[in-house]
Amino acid sequence: MPIAFADIAQSCAPLIQIEILAAVVGVESGFDPLAIRINTDAPRPERPQSKAEAIEIATTLVAEGQSVDLGLGGVSSYDLPSLGLSLADLFDPCLNLKATGTLLDRYYRAAVATGAMDGEAEVAMLRAYYGQGDAQIGAMVGYDRRITDEQRRLAGRLSSLELENSGGAGKLPTREAQDQTSRGSQGLKEIAAAASADVQPPDPTAPIQTWDVFGQSRQSIVLIFSR
């Protein structure tokens, strides 16, 4: 029996605004509770047809040393110890949303503790979520902008979104997974390396310019995620 996304979000991750949570889920998994993404250039596995199959695939990948992002919120396997969860837990929609909300709240509080206010703290939270605590990585790929775009796309449609109890994908039409900017498209180390490669040695005669993380300087980083 389908579950309304708004209901499960409010019940399992009440600290996070549903608009933000839905946008993160839309970008990270396309509302697929069984989503599995590998953070390297290793072949992407076929979509599992059941929760048991998803657990088996994820367990094998982690045993092979792969970093994977799992479930609705694309929660990293590296975050499991701090969350007190297992791989299997991340394929439970409620537990995954709870984990996603916990991480977002953690990064928001960390931003506030450094003096960030309101909108600034929200931006820092989203960037840190992408970078697994490193907001600079999220800034390099414009992750907060991607979430804002997804919020606009979902505006007025959240009440129609349902998740299947059986573990199927959400019923709201979404873009194909390969069109999404998610951590699964490239590993964090690969992103950082690509960013470093794009930076040219400074010209001592050139005028000093203000760095714009959302401007032309980051376009080459975004291309990493084109498929």
Q: How far is residue 111 from each of residues 108, 135, 143, measured CA to CA in Å?
A: 5, 10, 16
- Which pLDDT band, with edges at 50, 70 and 90, does 183 fall under? low
* Residue 15 in this model has a pLDDT that exceeds 80: yes
pLDDT-derived band at 186 (thresholds 50, 70, 90) equals very low
Write down the pLDDT at residue 45: 81
pLDDT at residue 224 greater than cutoff 90:
no
The residue type of 83 is: L
- Distance from C-alpha of 20 to C-alpha of 22, rounded to nearest angstrom: 5
Which residues are bridge partners to 36 per DSSP? 70
Hey, what amino acid is at 198?
D
From the number of C-beta atoms within 10 Å of its C-beta (0-12, 13-18, 19+), residue 88 rates as middle
DSSP string, 178-207: GGS--GGGS-HHHHHHHHHHHPPPP-TTSP
What is the structure's pLDDT at 199?
A: 41
Q: For residue 187, which of 100, 68, 30, 27 has the smallest C-alpha distance?
A: 68
* pLDDT, tens digit, 9 for 90 and up, residues 150-177: 999 999 898 889 887 654 444 443 333 3
pLDDT at 1: 74
Tell me 158's DSSP state.
Answer: G
pLDDT at 162: 87
CA 138 to chain centre: 10
The residues, any chain, with a CB within 8 Å of residue 124's CB and separated by 6 or more, are 107, 108, 110, 111, 114, 116, 135
pLDDT (0 to 100) of residue 163: 87
Band of pLDDT at residue 34, cut at 50, 70 and 90:
very high
- What pLDDT does residue 165 have? 62
- Token pair in block for residue 194: 């690509």
Instruction: Find tokens 């007190």 and name the residue.
Output: 84
Structural domain boundaries in the chain: 3-225
Given a contact cutoff of 8 angstroms between Cβ atoms, the answer to whether 159 and 104 are in contact is no
Structure confidence at residue 58 (pLDDT): 97
Mean pLDDT of the chain: 79
Identify the pLDDT of residue 172: 44
By the 8 A CB rule, do 161 and 22 touch?
yes
Whether the per-residue pLDDT at 217 is higher than 60: the answer is no
Residue with structure tokens 């953070």? 39
Q: What is the pLDDT of residues 88-142, one digit of tens each?
A: 999 999 999 999 999 999 999 999 999 998 899 999 999 999 999 999 999 999 9
pLDDT score, position 66: 92
Rounded to an integer, the average pLDDT of 67-95 is: 97
φ, ψ of residue 200 in degrees (nearest 5): -90, 150
